[in-house]
Structure 1
Amino acid sequence: QWSLALSDAQIAALPAASQAALAGYRQHSNGAATLREMFTVRRDLPEFVRSLAAEIETGQSCAVVDVAFVNAGDLALGELLERMPALSQLAAYGGWNTAGNTLGCVLAHAVIRHLQTLHGATPEAIAAHVRFLFLRLVEDDLFMARLRTQIAVEDLPALGLPITLGNVGEHAETVRALVERKLGEAAAQLAQERFIGRQAQAGDAAILLEALTLTDVELPWGRLFDLTMNVDARYVIG
């Protein structure tokens, strides 16, 4: 999605090999299908996010099952969610892998969070909810929908590699360090704008978030397709 959303000027600034690869992808059946879904008139994402924010404001438990595209969140939806002030109050979010995996993951998380709001929870359990919500947003939206393709298109050719989400061989540590730096910067911005200074509550217990930090960012199979990481949270109780 990220590469298909580039303007002509942005494409012209890419290396020649990247320009050729993107031109071919746009004509490929997968690229054409993604373009149709991205710009179909059947989608009204601003209204979806407006309604979502309104429901959260009333105290409803709301979760987002992001299954428009396989193996990544919806780039356009993610950009709107990132601008939603109540993002940290979502019960759950997911957009990874298959629709079935996403649905199961989000429903399980949302049920747990809803039970927290009904029956209360310890500060540690509330923090675990926040960490997992933040992790899914970072991985499925920031990384899968945006940064991994951006790195593949902009950075891999400079290493002498083709545009790929597959194995990068001897460059694995260099690419991992790129992911750690760029994803860390994007995650820090999301945390600062939508999580830090916000309260998460369950019954009579509440925490005030002071920091959310990515740790242990790894590419376990030496490829950009997937990654593992953890989220550390610092908070005060009450």
Structure 2
Amino acid sequence: MKILYIPLDERPCNFDYPQAIAKLQNNLELVVPPRSLLGVKKQPAKGDRLWDWIEVKISECQGAILSIEMLVYGGLLPSRLHQDSEELLRDRLDRISRLKEKYPDLLILASNLIMRSPSYNSSEEEPDYYEEFGERIFRWGWLQDKQQREGITEAETEELSRIDRELPAEYLQDYCQRRKQNLIINKQAIALVERGIIDFLSIPQDDCAIYGFTARDRQEVVKEISTKRLQKKINLYPGADEVGCTLLARICLQLRDIRRKIYLLYSSIYSEQIIPLYEDRPLGESLKAHILAVGGCLVSTPETADFILAVNTPGQVMQEAWDNPIKDLTYTTHRNLPFFVDRIATFLEEGKPVAIADVAFANGGETELVQLLDDFAAWDELLAYGCWNTSSNTIGTVLATAIIGIDASDRHAITTNKIYHLLEGWAYQTIVRMDLVKNYLPAIDASYYDFNGKEKEIHAEMKKRIYAVWEQTMHHSFLQWQWEIEIFSPWQRMFEIGLNLTVGDRIEE
């Protein structure tokens, strides 16, 4: 089975994660363009060269996973920065129609984000003016949306008036014009589903909130989907960088005409009701959407499930991973983590596959969970594990890994996948990253977003500390394996890293 894959951008989560999941199946080949065709951060991909590559490769593929952000704008960040005309954007999108006309039997799954609206000042991933006016642009959209939907208070009316005075009109006009164009592309993508060009469309929402620009656009998109009665072929839910993994699992299930049955195990009786950081709805509702998008279905008993999805959540209040080990009291009073891990260990002893979505914290994993799983000697038997960025990023990735890995016979590939996510999502994101930011980077005249030419030195320090964290924590797990890593920083910042990971049998000295 060959699947052509056009990622959202060139970062490891979009470029490497789906390829690592594909390696869990010997009969699955993911055909991926070289990174050099995908642009770099704010620099868009060369669309014509990418389409030339697609036209060469597509004839040997049974399906295609296409990022509309990549094909229409040149990538995720360019979708927030472009100055392209509506006519040009529509023409780029219409190339998908011409592809389907040439290959009518090709199964096409696509993704198209609703443009996000961050609530903070930073031009790292936004237009330059967002560095000074980002928070006010967000609040302007929030207050305008709330005012139209349910009204605002006198204090909020005064705040809106103040922002109107302070926010340069040309910046707001630029921002709103781009959102308008991107919303048109959202609707045109929906039209491609209606015409049968796209067989399934995921519309993830990156950093969504209850009110604001993104919520307003979402209302229009939902109306469009509902009016055209396309709810079965289009799913809209919180997420973004996991979507390549999600669609990979779905297309594999569709081509095999099967569904995977999933039983949910939560770490708290409150898990379903928690609204995760950076999302706009209860976690239980997001989980339903991700399971539907990936092509799975929920079952009410573990005996009838293909695998258990164990979801580790807060007790009530979600914090950032770098707050470990200082936790809100409800992580203990409203959750029993030892009981949760004992249930996991029991399922494993009974021969039930278990995958863990560790979403107790945002932007990393929970050290106490990692330790407990090591104490129970459960890591080697787990099917999958993830703990990175937002809860939806983690859930989508773990679901896809479990669905494709459930009948994999290669334990090496499964082990490599787990070790990767432990090293990057837990050891780096939770422990190493912020310690470096606070105590190491200032000493070498570098910062979170500016390595100041010290990449080699910083990567060496990252590597040393990741090894140390692993040695301090893992006493009973992966004892038959040894691993080596080389680190790279795709966008030259501390937010994420890429790992070139090699895992092999441990050689006893």
| TM-score, shorter chain, exceeding 0.5 | yes
**Residues 38, 174 of structure 1: CA spacing in aligned structure 2 closer, same or farther, 3 A cutoff?**
farther
**Structure 1: any 5+ residue segments left out of the alignment?**
8-34, 117-123, 198-210
Q: Find the partner of 2:380 among 59, 75, 88.
A: 88
Q: Distance in 2 between matches of 1:100 and 1:6?
A: 23
- Tell me the SS of whatever aligns to 1:194: coil
For residues 61-107 of structure 1, give each alpha carbon's deviation from its aligned partner in whole angstroms, at most 9, with x where no partner exists. 01111112222112332332333312111100001122222111101
- Matched to 2:456, the amino acid is E
Q: Distance in 1 between matches of 2:336 and 2:378?
A: 19
Give the CA deviation at 1:165.
Answer: 3.9
In the alignment, is the contact (CA less than 8 A) between 1:188 and 1:213 conserved in 2?
A: no
- Tell me the SS of whatever aligns to 2:504: strand
1:131 corresponding residue in structure 2: 416
1:216 corresponding residue in structure 2: 486
Q: Distance in 1 between matches of 2:406 and 2:385?
A: 13
1:228 corresponding residue in structure 2: 498
Q: How does 1:86-235 map to 2 (within 5 A)?
A: 86-116=378-408, 125-161=410-446, 165-187=448-470, 193-197=476-480, 211-235=481-505
1:52 corresponding residue in structure 2: 344
2:354 matches 1:71: no
In the alignment, is the contact (CA less than 8 A) between 1:64 and 1:93 conserved in 2?
A: yes
In the alignment, is the contact (CA less than 8 A) between 1:67 and 1:102 conserved in 2?
A: yes
Q: TM-score, normalised by structure 1?
A: 0.68
- Matched to 2:412, the amino acid is A
- Matched to 1:195, the amino acid is F
Q: Distance in 1 between matches of 2:434 and 2:376?
A: 24
- Tell me the SS of whatever aligns to 1:169: coil
Number of residue pairs aligned between Structure 1 and Structure 2: 187
Give the CA deviation at 1:178.
Answer: 0.2
Give the CA deviation at 1:228.
Answer: 0.5
In the alignment, is the contact (CA less than 8 A) between 1:184 and 1:214 conserved in 2?
A: no
1:26 corresponding residue in structure 2: none
Q: Distance in 2 between matches of 1:165 and 1:38?
A: 31
For residues 143-186 of structure 1, give each alpha carbon's deviation from its aligned partner in whole angstroms, at most 9, with x where no partner exists. 1111112222232233245xx64333233322111001221343
Larger-Rg structure: 2
Give the CA deviation at 1:135.
Answer: 0.6
In the alignment, is the contact (CA less than 8 A) between 1:53 and 1:86 conserved in 2?
A: yes
In the alignment, is the contact (CA less than 8 A) between 1:66 and 1:95 conserved in 2?
A: yes
**Residues 196, 167 of structure 1: CA spacing in aligned structure 2 closer, same or farther, 3 A cutoff?**
same
Q: Distance in 1 between matches of 2:463 and 2:360?
A: 27
In the alignment, is the contact (CA less than 8 A) between 1:172 and 1:223 conserved in 2?
A: no
Q: TM-score, normalised by structure 2?
A: 0.34
In the alignment, is the contact (CA less than 8 A) between 2:371 and 2:473 conserved in 1?
A: no
- Tell me the SS of whatever aligns to 1:36: coil
Q: Distance in 2 between matches of 1:152 and 1:108?
A: 32
Give the CA deviation at 1:55.
Answer: 1.3
- Matched to 1:70, the amino acid is A
In the alignment, is the contact (CA less than 8 A) between 1:188 and 1:212 conserved in 2?
A: no
Q: Distance in 1 between matches of 2:373 and 2:439?
A: 25
Percent identical among aligned pairs is 27
For residues 8-64 of structure 1, give each alpha carbon's deviation from its aligned partner in whole angstroms, at most 9, with x where no partner exists. xxxxxxxxxxxxxxxxxxxxxxxxxxx437745212112111211121111110111
**Residues 154, 135 of structure 1: CA spacing in aligned structure 2 closer, same or farther, 3 A cutoff?**
same
**Residues 54, 185 of structure 1: CA spacing in aligned structure 2 closer, same or farther, 3 A cutoff?**
same
The structure, 1 or 2, with the larger RCO (C-alpha pairs under 8 Å, 6+ apart) is 1
1:120 corresponding residue in structure 2: none
Q: Distance in 2 between matches of 1:165 and 1:80?
A: 31
**Residues 2, 100 of structure 1: CA spacing in aligned structure 2 closer, same or farther, 3 A cutoff?**
closer
- Matched to 1:172, the amino acid is E
**Structure 2: any 5+ residue segments left out of the alignment?**
1-319
In the alignment, is the contact (CA less than 8 A) between 2:321 and 2:366 conserved in 1?
A: no
Give the CA deviation at 1:220.
Answer: 2.4
Q: Distance in 2 between matches of 1:127 and 1:44?
A: 32
In the alignment, is the contact (CA less than 8 A) between 1:72 and 1:96 conserved in 2?
A: yes
Which is worse superposed, 175-184 or 79-88?
A: 79-88
In the alignment, is the contact (CA less than 8 A) between 2:373 and 2:379 conserved in 1?
A: yes
For residues 116-167 of structure 1, give each alpha carbon's deviation from its aligned partner in whole angstroms, at most 9, with x where no partner exists. 3xxxxxxx83311110111111111111111112222232233245xx6433
The alignment yields a C-alpha RMSD, in angstroms, of 2.7
- Matched to 2:405, the amino acid is R
